[in-house]
Structure 1
């Protein structure tokens, strides 16, 4: 084996931005009085121990851990990972101290720290890592599975503190991918002996906090683990968390979250509305913004049914939209426009050519629709072909995938498409239906909007591969399955030279643009606003979620 440095420097990219306004600081009060120890509470309003950080999040996930980014934000407080990501994109040690890659790039060896334990007393040893990898590959975490399936053949505990991962093909971004919170390590004892519901609601990890109580619909209480002493190299400090408890509250209404922050009822909030951003800065609140790499908020075309089975109609729809103008109007300079559907600007290997493929051009949109046979008009201006209206259904998950700013952007796009002759029916549906898989089938929509955060352009494989677990890939919302595209992306994934790899990723994006399968709309952001009394809050560098290990309250 050749020794591969654990700190592989990649190109610098804009992972996070923290801004503290120069205006006068507001003095806000925190919850609770002094207690000698942390005690469980039955509700968010019950008496709380000292050093409780109260945080307002916009969505309540079904489980604390899992393959959705909202679960990753929570699980990152509870589950440690093998590696973490530094501010400059460098992979840094965490549970693993270092790692090697064999000469043929088919075996990765991770060397583990000796002291970490899970909160149930189980050691974080090599067999625990192997058990978690097996759990992921068997479908215990669907997102972890799609990242690893087809590459990881097996994992072996060489000794108590050494893990070998054997690959089917070279996978040079493996360590970087493992920094994402989807790859948090759980106690193998808990996985083997507890029910699925127990591990869903209170997973056992080796992280700085443990789940004390989940009051469904209200909050989750995370209590400090006093013996924690193995924070990642990216942490500001080692040892236990500074706060005794995180009161993680669920408040879907962004207006209510912001009002609670201003009233001193919350110390920090997630998902700040664009029009509030500068106001909060001017009022003395600290703001954090993370532009998530990976797939941005993009529109996919259902290529399996009319009208978007015709590439000319897909192209016409894309050209009918002045997406940049709508995003700038709603986004107030906070939400960036993104024209590229496959990946956003924060992602290495980004193709500006693909992003520029469908700039606003109503004349060309009209020409393409004429060419495709949509030459007649109804009295309301909707185009007709053989007596059929050019109507399309556009469902979106309001309050889950799409926040209020996103809904306003979609409504602006609807008006623009209708000016060209499309009849666009918007179908907002609630988070409960989204969690149940609504509007995911081939016969359920014409247009789909959504994102998939990722640390690199390897997300192209996750989305555009043709099968997962022997079944058609449900993440391919365009339902476009192509051998050449999949082979191109797999070749990129296994290319060890970064420049050559990025060139292949760009080629794949341009293929997707040429086929008009996916068009970008705006970058998916992770935003926070915090009281001036809250210090040490930061955003995790691979997905942008809040990190509370170093956070504390102080006037």
Structure 2
């Protein structure tokens, strides 16, 4: 027997997974209230321990994964920061400028900051970090600046000159991402990789006091800290003495810990809990992450999706918006654009609207591609079933809400004759690189955070033997597409740059290489005994420098 129509399943099944949540618009948002009760920390506004529940434990405190960026941002300062208006503002650098030929960037550093080992944050330290990034010390930093930065040198103790191979007008903006946090050059040179992984030495407001694997990381305040970014609410040392950063994978357990007062704040709020927590008086933050949203990348190198018609059929078969609305209930935004999210500058509405739900069009395309309806409803061609392997990293790339959305998409695709096998796999397998090669999947889901549409080069640069690109999850090599994105990245006219970025997004949509599903969120719920937690503006991670405990 055929299964019931997906719309019926969504109404009966997904609605139970996603109860009514609050509504919020794109960007960084705050819903605040207070409630009576007690929290775990001291009420001393200049001290105490803030207890925070996070959903994932990264392999290192620093690195190229967003979860590492959230942690390292508490420990490693950067040259510049991003304010709430998307403007680059001073941090360790007080000033910067681009040369007339757009091939040299010069940064002037403030005097006085030191790393927690006593090493000065001087120009040579910045040069050493840039060399470290370019050599692959941080893979995400490398993919952002590697195609553009030729070299860096210290002109004097407080002046750094960075030479580019081609113009890169958004260079300073990209440096606001926490992947570009500076480490002590002495630590990089003298300590082991494991020591720097576990306890990196930065110039930030906190130091790593302890890491109890599988349980928590303890961050202690640095009392001599006095160089917070220009957009910080307060200057000087952090207001809490300690942050107990706990790893609580289960979302139900995290929310229960918040309600019981075991923790002061939690990350990653389930959509169905949003309105309840808001009505109970918790302070809620929601940030729609710029960059690549949660999107489906089709494996174009082999299998059914090597045929553009089959990719388009899959796209048309999915009522993505209904699924996201059923699970997200106004908290999780639907996103039709695969290459970039709605909170990313130069977003293309045309690309986002390319594939509306049209199951009849999907069937026509599959007929045209030679896939006939089999006896059990699954399409077949040359004796092979239209089988789709769809792995996803549960509790790493995909949270519980995301898993419910994927299950809803599976039901829609099967209605037109796809046989979709969902393959959830654990964070440990994801960290080891599981399901990342061209033989491992037919379609994948994932995101890449960014502050601008330059993420397109990261995701769509060709994957060639002499210049591999494992971030090209569609395994799609197209020199014309890459050329358009490179031209955009180097365009010095903002309007011309945006037009090129939109052109690339529409090129990707036309060929159904990637389709959007929902915008990736960074969400926080904060208890009544904490004020001043904010979300960092380039990635949405929590910032604890300004936070303090109250009665």
TM range (shorter): over 0.9
Task: Please report how far the alpha carbon of residue 453 of structure 1 lies from its aligned counterpart in structure 2 after TM superposition.
Answer: 0.5
Counterparts of 2:160 and 2:88, CA distance in 1: 18
Task: Please report how far the alpha carbon of residue 282 of structure 1 lies from its aligned counterpart in structure 2 after TM superposition.
Answer: 0.3
User: Can you list the C-alpha shifts for 1:351-391, whole angstroms capped at 9, x where unaligned?
Assistant: 1111111110111100000000002x223210111221111
Equivalent residue of 1:252, what SS?
Answer: coil
- Indicate which of 259, 263, 268 corresponds to 2:265: 268
Counterparts of 2:327 and 2:304, CA distance in 1: 29
Counterparts of 1:54 and 1:307, CA distance in 2: 48
Counterparts of 1:97 and 1:274, CA distance in 2: 40
Tell me if structure 1 keeps the 8 A contact 2:297–2:445: yes
How many residues end up aligned between the 2 structures?
527
Task: Please report how far the alpha carbon of residue 137 of structure 1 lies from its aligned counterpart in structure 2 after TM superposition.
Answer: 0.3
Tell me if structure 1 keeps the 8 A contact 2:93–2:108: yes
For 2:121, the equivalent position in structure 1 comes to 124
Answer with 467-476 or 500-509: which moved more.
Answer: 467-476
For 2:10, the equivalent position in structure 1 comes to none
Counterparts of 2:188 and 2:32, CA distance in 1: 42
Task: Please report how far the alpha carbon of residue 467 of structure 1 lies from its aligned counterpart in structure 2 after TM superposition.
Answer: 4.8
Equivalent residue of 1:110, what SS?
Answer: strand
Task: Please report how far the alpha carbon of residue 33 of structure 1 lies from its aligned counterpart in structure 2 after TM superposition.
Answer: 9.4
For 1:485, the equivalent position in structure 2 comes to 481
For 1:518, the equivalent position in structure 2 comes to 514
For 1:147, the equivalent position in structure 2 comes to 144
Counterparts of 1:54 and 1:185, CA distance in 2: 26
Equivalent residue of 1:130, what SS?
Answer: helix
For 1:20, the equivalent position in structure 2 comes to 32
User: Can you list the C-alpha shifts for 1:58-82, whole angstroms capped at 9, x where unaligned?
Assistant: 0000000000000000000000000
Counterparts of 1:53 and 1:551, CA distance in 2: 9
Equivalent residue of 2:86, what SS?
Answer: coil
User: Can you list the C-alpha shifts for 1:363-420, whole angstroms capped at 9, x where unaligned?
Assistant: 1100000000002x22321011122111100000000000000000000000000000
Tell me if structure 1 keeps the 8 A contact 2:41–2:549: no
User: Can you list the C-alpha shifts for 1:232-274, whole angstroms capped at 9, x where unaligned?
Assistant: 0010010000000000000000000000000000000000000
For 1:297, the equivalent position in structure 2 comes to 294
Counterparts of 1:192 and 1:380, CA distance in 2: 63
For 2:162, the equivalent position in structure 1 comes to 165
For 1:385, the equivalent position in structure 2 comes to 381
For 1:450, the equivalent position in structure 2 comes to 446
| TM-score for both structures, normalised by structure 1 | 0.93
For 1:426, the equivalent position in structure 2 comes to 422
| Cα 1:26–1:512 shift into 2, 3 Å | same
Counterparts of 1:33 and 1:68, CA distance in 2: 34
For 1:192, the equivalent position in structure 2 comes to 189
**Aligned-pair Cα RMSD in Å:** 1.5
The within-5 A match list for 1:142-541 is 142-375=139-372, 377-467=373-463, 470-541=466-537
Q: Which runs of 5+ in 2 are unaligned?
A: 1-24
Task: Please report how far the alpha carbon of residue 229 of structure 1 lies from its aligned counterpart in structure 2 after TM superposition.
Answer: 0.1
Task: Please report how far the alpha carbon of residue 26 of structure 1 lies from its aligned counterpart in structure 2 after TM superposition.
Answer: 2.9
For 1:3, the equivalent position in structure 2 comes to none
Tell me if structure 1 keeps the 8 A contact 2:43–2:550: no
Task: Please report how far the alpha carbon of residue 532 of structure 1 lies from its aligned counterpart in structure 2 after TM superposition.
Answer: 1.3
Tell me if structure 1 keeps the 8 A contact 2:134–2:142: yes
Q: Which runs of 5+ in 1 are unaligned?
A: 1-12, 37-49
| Cα 1:467–1:160 shift into 2, 3 Å | farther
For 2:20, the equivalent position in structure 1 comes to none
Tell me if structure 2 keeps the 8 A contact 1:101–1:109: yes
Tell me if structure 1 keeps the 8 A contact 2:463–2:472: no
Tell me if structure 2 keeps the 8 A contact 1:15–1:87: no
User: Can you list the C-alpha shifts for 1:132-167, whole angstroms capped at 9, x where unaligned?
Assistant: 000000000000000011200000100000000000
Counterparts of 2:41 and 2:75, CA distance in 1: 23
Counterparts of 1:474 and 1:180, CA distance in 2: 21
Counterparts of 1:244 and 1:534, CA distance in 2: 13
Counterparts of 1:28 and 1:320, CA distance in 2: 50
Tell me if structure 1 keeps the 8 A contact 2:43–2:549: no
Taking CA–CA contacts closer than 8 Å with sequence separation of 6 or more, which of the two structures ends up with the larger relative contact order? 2
Tell me if structure 2 keeps the 8 A contact 1:219–1:248: yes
The answer to whether 1:58 aligns with 2:90 is: no
Equivalent residue of 1:326, what SS?
Answer: helix
Equivalent residue of 1:471, what SS?
Answer: coil
Counterparts of 1:176 and 1:303, CA distance in 2: 33
Counterparts of 2:208 and 2:375, CA distance in 1: 60
| Cα 1:333–1:14 shift into 2, 3 Å | closer
Equivalent residue of 2:258, what SS?
Answer: helix
Counterparts of 1:401 and 1:17, CA distance in 2: 23
User: Can you list the C-alpha shifts for 1:441-484, whole angstroms capped at 9, x where unaligned?
Assistant: 00000010000010000000111112589432000000001110
For 2:549, the equivalent position in structure 1 comes to 553
Counterparts of 2:371 and 2:549, CA distance in 1: 62
Counterparts of 2:117 and 2:531, CA distance in 1: 30
Counterparts of 1:468 and 1:425, CA distance in 2: 29
